């Protein structure tokens, strides 16, 4: 990406952040702002605790051990992806969203007025599974939010171009058989520019790409507003 493009992203985020910092958004996952506890899934932590990143059972026991709602992961370096074929030929290990780990079937609410940009099942182990991308406008600034690891019913019950209101229920978290093979959770990500993607967008990048993707995908907690 050239300097003109990156400078444009920086200006766009400066303008958007000024608005987001003054706003209150509808809570995407019920009680996540006050009840969720941060969980560390970095490679160093899992290695220290001797948790096998390839074991869904061990990951679930660690994630949900003392709380029914956990969150974390923005710009966290993980080794969770290496077992999946999609990541075998690259070094993507840096997580671009925030994961909210909850029970399957947990309702998900629209944080701010939006239009559905995409609803698609990104199939494959380690992938998002059912995914919804919403398009938002704040003071003529366009940006997107991505919701990954949903239930199959979520993408069947919504259509591109559908208008959603702030606080409207629009999807649910999926189980491991439909969400890419993960313990149940929502992957939430802010995206300033989709880079011509239409039904998908990277949720993980390499360390070499980190600076670019930090511009493209700012901290999702500007909207999630989780206190813990």
pLDDT of residue 8: 94
pLDDT band at 151 (very low <50, low <70, confident <90, very high): very high
Give strand pairing partners of 204: 95
Give strand pairing partners of 144: 135, 191
pLDDT of residue 6: 93
Give CA–CA dist 115/125, Å, rounded.
28
Give CA–CA dist 71/228, Å, rounded.
9
Provide the whole-model pTM.
0.95
CB 141 within 8 Å of CB 218: no
Domain count, the chain: 1
For 176-217, what is each residue's pLDDT tens digit? 999 999 999 999 999 999 999 999 999 999 999 999 999 999
pLDDT of residue 82: 64
- 3-state class of 15 per DSSP? helix
pLDDT of residue 126: 87
pLDDT of residue 65: 85
pLDDT of residue 166: 98
- Domain CATH number, residue 94: 2.70.70.10
pLDDT of residue 87: 58
Cα 14–chain centre separation: 21
Question: Mind giving me the DSSP string for 156-176?
Answer: HT--TT-EE-TT-EEEEB--T
Q: What length does the chain have?
A: 228
For 33-83, what is each residue's pLDDT tens digit? 999 999 999 999 999 999 988 888 999 999 998 778 999 999 999 988 766
Range of the domain at 191: 3-224
Burial state string for 92-101 with b = 16 or more CB within 10 A and e = fewer than 16: bbbbbbbbbb
Q: Which two tokens stand for residue 180?
A: 């890419």
Give CA–CA dist 159/118, Å, rounded.
8
**Average per-residue pLDDT for the chain:** 93
């Amino acid at each position: 990406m050239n300097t003109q493009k990156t400078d444009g992203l920086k200006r766009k985020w400066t303008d958007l952040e000024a608005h987001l910092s003054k706003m209150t958004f509808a809570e995407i996952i019920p009680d996540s702002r006050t009840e969720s506890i941060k969980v560390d899934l970095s490679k160093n932590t899992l290695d220290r605790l001797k948790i096998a990143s390839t074991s869904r059972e061990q990951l679930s026991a660690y994630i949900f051990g003392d709380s029914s709602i956990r969150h974390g992961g923005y710009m966290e370096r993980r080794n969770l992806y290496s077992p999946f074929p999609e990541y075998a030929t690259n070094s993507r290990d840096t997580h671009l969203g925030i994961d909210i780990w909850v029970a399957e079937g947990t309702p998900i609410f629209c944080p701010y007025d939006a239009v559905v940009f995409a609803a698609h099942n990104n199939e494959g182990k380690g992938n998002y599974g059912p995914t919804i991308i919403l398009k938002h406008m704040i003071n003529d600034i366009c940006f997107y939010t991505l919701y990954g690891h949903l239930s199959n019913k979520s993408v069947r019950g919504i259509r591109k171009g559908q208008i959603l209101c702030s606080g409207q229920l629009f999807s649910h978290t999926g189980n491991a058989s439909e969400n890419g093979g993960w313990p149940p959770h929502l992957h939430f990500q802010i995206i300033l520019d989709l880079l011509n993607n239409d039904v998908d967008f990277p949720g993980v990048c390499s360390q070499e790409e980190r600076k670019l993707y930090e511009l493209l995908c700012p901290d999702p907690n500007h909207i999630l507003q989780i206190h813990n």
